[in-house]
Each structure stands twice: as structure tokens, then as C-alpha cells.
Amino acid sequence: MPYSVEVSETESVRYLHFGSEWIQGAMRIARPWALEIAYTREMLLPLLLRAEPLRHCLLIGLGAASQLKFLYRHFPDARLRVIEINPDVPSVARQCFKLPDSPRIDIIIGDAATWMAANAPQADFDLILQDGFDASGKSGTLSSAAFYARCHAALEAGGAFACNLLGDRRDFQTSLRRIRRAFSGHSLYFPSGDNGNVVALGFAGASPDFTLSQLRKRALFLKTRTGLDLRPALSRLQLSVAAPGGKLRL
């Protein structure tokens, strides 16, 4: 059943809700292109782990369009596809969260699990971002083993998958195990700067081949170019993942 889409505003920050107080997205009014919520920034860690520029991105769940707007502004050669189940969300995102109207952005209204089942084998995404929840914070079929396997299948070689998980959910560990199986062990996760959120990453094909020192330099370059500072996320990643010899090992 479709959920209601509501907007609130507090201390110059505009929030998106799906029929509850649960925050589904946010935008600081004075900085509409910035990523206000920590996990939305940290899900973009694959930008440091990819050697090639972005060409084709899939976002599962539009929300307040924060990540979409960031990619649209800073990666002008990337095509951006969104799958959003609620037909009211795009119009609210345009009216209240400055969602651009552009031929580079393709918004599909529908169920992401159904779309992936039909299209994953023919897809060639180099980045998939999953942040799809209902009004109660449940992801349903978007956390199934079949869905994660299709996300892997929809990536080109060297592509990356990033998923927002809720660490206080009973099915959290199950989701992590399914992601790890889907990506043949080429995965990792780390706690977000937001309370309760966990970012999980999966990689198609070879694991990233960067030292932590190289990643910090790439993070500084990204901050200079876009304003996005992923160095705090790298610090949490370093505490969560083994890095013998200063290199990530997945």
C-alpha cells in the first residue's frame, strides 16, 4: 500500500518523511547540493575505490534526492537511473528538494525487486546505491538473497554496490551474510556516523587495489573538487576491516 509523503522543516533543514517521524531524507536549505545526513555521504565511499570515472549509476529509492543531486552536479558524464516505488516521491523531491529535471536522469516508478529480476542480466551499472525503506524502516524484498545477487549481476566488472542498513534490526546480520554471498566475499561494512546506520559495500570482480595512504589522498582530492569529505568514513573503515601492509583485503 502506498505510504504518505510528508515534509517538515527545523533549523533551516528540510526533512522527508513517509507517514511517520522516521527521517527518509534531508536537505539544508542554504546548501541544497550538499549531503546533509552522514550515511548518504559514506555510501559514496566507492568513489574512492574506483579507478575509472562514473558512467552509469542506479539509485534504488529516491528519497530527498540528495545522492542523485550530488552525482548529477559533480559527475556530468554519468547517466543516472532511479527506481522509486512511490509515485508521489519524485514530485515532492522536485517541489521541496530541488530535484533537477534533466535528460541525464531517468526515474522509473515501480518495485526495484521486480525491475531487477527483469533487467539485471542486461544492465551495466558501475555504481548501485540502495537506500529503500518503507514508513516503518523495513526493506522487504530489497534485502533478499535473490535481490542482492541481482545487484551483483547488474554491475559491470569493477562496479560497486553500496547499501544503507539499520544495525539495530533483527535481520541485520542476515542481510550482511546475503551481501557477502552475493558478492563472493568481496564485501565489507562499517558503522556510519549516524546512530544505528551501517554502510555495506560489495564489489563485482577484483577487489579494490589501493593502500589506505592512497585512499586518503584520493579523499582529499575529492573534498577539494566536490566538498565531500570521506576521510572520517575511511577512519571508521580502517577500524572495521583488516588492512595488512596498509592495503585493504576483502
- Structural domain contains residue 89: yes
- Calpha distance 107→92 (Å, rounded): 13
> CB count, 10 Å around CB of 136?
10
- Structural domain contains residue 2: no
Contacts of 4-8 with CB under 8 Å at 24 or more apart are 4/88, 4/135, 5/86, 5/88, 5/89, 5/92, 7/92, 7/96
33: left (phi over 0), alpha (psi -120 to 50) or beta: alpha
- Calpha distance 154→166 (Å, rounded): 24
Cell numbers given for 72 = 548529477
- Structural domain contains residue 8: no
Give pTM, 2 decimals: 0.93
- Structural domain contains residue 22: no
- Calpha distance 136→147 (Å, rounded): 20
Could you give the 3-state DSSP secondary structure of residue 155? strand
What is the edge-to-edge ordering of all strands in the sheet holding 125-130?
A: 105-109, 79-84, 56-60, 125-130, 155-166, 197-203, 187-191
- Structural domain contains residue 164: yes
- Structural domain contains residue 132: yes
- pLDDT block averages, 10 residues each, the chain of length 250: 84 92 92 95 92 92 96 96 96 97 96 94 94 65 93 94 83 91 90 83 81 91 96 85 65
- Structural domain contains residue 28: no
Q: What is the pLDDT of residue 21?
A: 81
Domain range for 157:
33-241
Q: What is the pLDDT of residue 1?
A: 47
Q: What is the pLDDT of residue 93?
A: 97
Report the number of distinct structural domains present in the chain: 1
Which domain CATH number covers 167? 3.40.50.150
> CB count, 10 Å around CB of 35?
22
- Structural domain contains residue 157: yes
Q: What is the pLDDT of residue 210?
A: 80
Strand partners, 25: 16
- Calpha distance 229→177 (Å, rounded): 29
Residue 105 DSSP class: E
